[in-house]
Amino acid sequence: MISLYAEKMLNIICNDTLEARLVCMFKKYGVSGYTIVSARGEGSSGQLSDMSGFNENIVVKAILPESRMQVILESIERKINKGHHLTVYITDVQVITPNKFNQSIG
């Protein structure tokens, strides 16, 4: 039987213009990796994406140990306080290679 280890997954829905800044933040705080997928939808501030390839939304996902989460959430909160529209939620996930998530990108 393969062992499973508990980790946290950070999910961020935002406009793709923020992608570079989020990636920079992940690297700064030693996140092991991230995945970005295109998204579309609608929210309180209207339609989020034009679906024309110009104003796209993305979902950014990163798995990381809970101990590293706080500092990243504080950085995200600063972005939200500046007015950026980010929807952030954290989910519990189970992984089979916990060591992988203790390393940094690179």
Partner 1 sequence: MSLSSLLLPAVLFFALGVIARLIKSDLKFPPDLAKVLSIYLLMAIGLHGGYELAKADMAIAFQSIIWALILGFTLPVVGYLALVATRKVNPMDAAAISAHYGSVSAGTFLTAIAYLDNLSVEYETYPLIMLAVMESPAIVVGLILAAKARQSVAAREGIAKSTPDEKSTEKSNFKEMLRDAFTNGSVVVLIGSMIIGAIADPSGMDKLKPFIDEIFMGVLCLFLFDMGMVAARRIGDFKQVGIVLAAFGVVMPLVGGVVGVYVGASMLDFSVGGSMLVGVLGASASYIAVPPAMRLAVPEANPSFYLTLSLGITFPFNVIVGIPLYHGLAKMMVG
Is the Cβ of residue 32 or residue 57 nearer to partner 1 in the bound state? 57
- Report the nearest approach of partner 1 to the CB of residue 1 (Å): 42
- Report the nearest approach of partner 1 to the CB of residue 49 (Å): 9
Q: Is 90 helix (H, G, I), strand (E, B) or coil?
A: strand
Tell which positions 76-105 bind partner 1, by CB under 8 A: 79, 82-85
Q: By C-alpha distance, which of 47, 52, 38, 36 is closest to 85?
A: 47
Is the Cβ of residue 50 or residue 66 nearer to partner 1 in the bound state? 50
Q: Is 71 helix (H, G, I), strand (E, B) or coil?
A: helix
Computed over its alpha carbons, how large is the radius of gyration of the chain? 15
Tell which positions 27-46 bind partner 1, by CB under 8 A: 38, 45-46
Tell which positions 52-71 bind partner 1, by CB under 8 A: 52-56
Q: Which phi and psi angles does 90 have, rounded to 5°? A: -120, 135
Q: Is 19 helix (H, G, I), strand (E, B) or coil?
A: helix
Please give the residue ranges that form the binding site for partner 1 (CB under 8 A): 15-18, 21, 38, 45-47, 50-56, 79, 82-85
